[in-house]
């Protein structure tokens, strides 16, 4: 799984999705993260097709939405996603949210898809420690990834440490807090030392924390800029300065309190 990829949340289906994927691939991105609820799988699939990159060089993720959770309905949702993407397999399939009373049956479906060779890895998204403990208790296969809201204002130390212990890879969604962190003085000051933007500093912080990161942008200059994070290293002191910005502050719902 690449450490860095493109998220396409709120990217419009059709031309915007196609061009975003094509441009991202041309800048070296090899991981694309979509979901059924984003309603842009067709555009992502077309962008993949037009990118000219061999399928086995790309890492494609999608997610089963809450209303499709359950064993048979998850299998159907997976088929629908594959058809829309026009792919023969996925690299990673995730449970989008921990729907109470359903996510265990949903996980059984993901285990089947994995055993059948239709997906190369399976995981979850927005799971707290107690959700993971509950799932692992009855699972044949442990989740391989937990994609969570993660940024300097929400460092999620407890879930991060638990996932490390259980060898579950943490992946960050909204790593830039929808742009809110880009004017932070601490991050800006650190960036100035390296000639790097605040976004590049935050994404580098993710990588050095061993967190996979998937920033979203439809701006081609930002797509290129976001990918340029492998030519500098933050010091331990700078890492701690960024981590100390934590406020346990979310922009998305708490996985213990969502209603969709």
Q: Please provide the DSSP assignment of 4-39 as one string.
A: B-EE-TTPPTTHHHHHHHHHHHHTT--EEE--GGGT
Please spell the DSSP secondary structure of 188-225, one letter per residue: HHHHHHHT--HHHHHHHHHHHTT-EE------HHHHHH
pTM of this structure: 0.97
What is the chain's alpha carbon radius of gyration, rounded to the nearest angstrom?
18
3-state SS class at 73:
helix
- Give the residues of the chain that fall short of pLDDT 70: none
Q: What pLDDT does 11 receive?
A: 97
Domains of the chain from N-terminus onward: 6-179+211-216 (3.20.20.100)
Q: Which pLDDT score, from 0 to 100, does residue 128 have?
A: 98
| pLDDT for position 82 | 98
Q: Please provide residue 178's backbone torsions phi and psi, each rounded to the nearest 5 degrees.
A: 50, 40
Write down the pLDDT at residue 46.
98
Give residue 92's pLDDT: 98
9, 27, 29, 38: which one is catalytic? 38
The predicted structure's pLDDT at residue 224 = 95
- CA distances 71 to 110, 123, 142, 157, 170, Å, are 8, 15, 17, 32, 25
Q: Which structure tokens are listed for 204? A: 């580098």
* Model pLDDT, residue 220: 93
Q: What is the rounded CA–CA span in Å between residue 205 and residue 215?
A: 13
**Residue 38 known to be catalytic:** yes
pLDDT of residue 150: 98
pLDDT of residue 55: 96
Amino acid 60: pLDDT: 98
């Amino acid at each position: 799984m690449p450490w860095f990829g493109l998220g396409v949340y709120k990217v419009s289906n059709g031309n915007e999705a196609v061009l975003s994927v094509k441009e991202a691939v041309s800048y070296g991105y090899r991981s694309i993260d979509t979901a059924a609820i984003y309603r842009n799988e067709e555009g992502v699939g077309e962008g993949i097709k037009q990118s000219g990159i061999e399928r086995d060089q790309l890492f494609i993720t999608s997610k089963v939405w809450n209303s499709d959770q359950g064993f048979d309905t998850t299998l159907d949702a997976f088929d629908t996603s594959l058809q829309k993407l026009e792919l023969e397999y996925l690299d990673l399939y995730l449970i989008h949210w921990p729907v109470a009373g359903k996510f265990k049956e949903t996980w059984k479906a993901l285990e089947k898809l994995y055993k059948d060779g239709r997906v190369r890895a399976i995981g979850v998204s927005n799971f707290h420690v107690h959700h993971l403990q509950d799932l692992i208790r009855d699972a044949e296969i442990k989740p391989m990834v937990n994609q969570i809201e993660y940024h300097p204002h929400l460092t999620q130390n407890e879930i991060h440490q638990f996932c490390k212990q259980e060898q579950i890879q943490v992946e960050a969604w909204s790593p830039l807090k929808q742009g809110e962190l880009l004017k932070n003085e601490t991050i800006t000051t650190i960036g100035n030392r390296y000639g790097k933007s605040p976004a590049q500093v935050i994404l580098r912080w993710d990588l050095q924390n061993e967190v996979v990161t998937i920033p979203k942008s439809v701006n081609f200059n930002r797509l290129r800029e976001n990918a340029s994070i492998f030519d500098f290293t933050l010091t331990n002191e700078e890492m701690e300065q960024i981590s100390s910005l934590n406020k346990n502050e979310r922009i998305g719902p708490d996985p213990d309190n969502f209603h969709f």
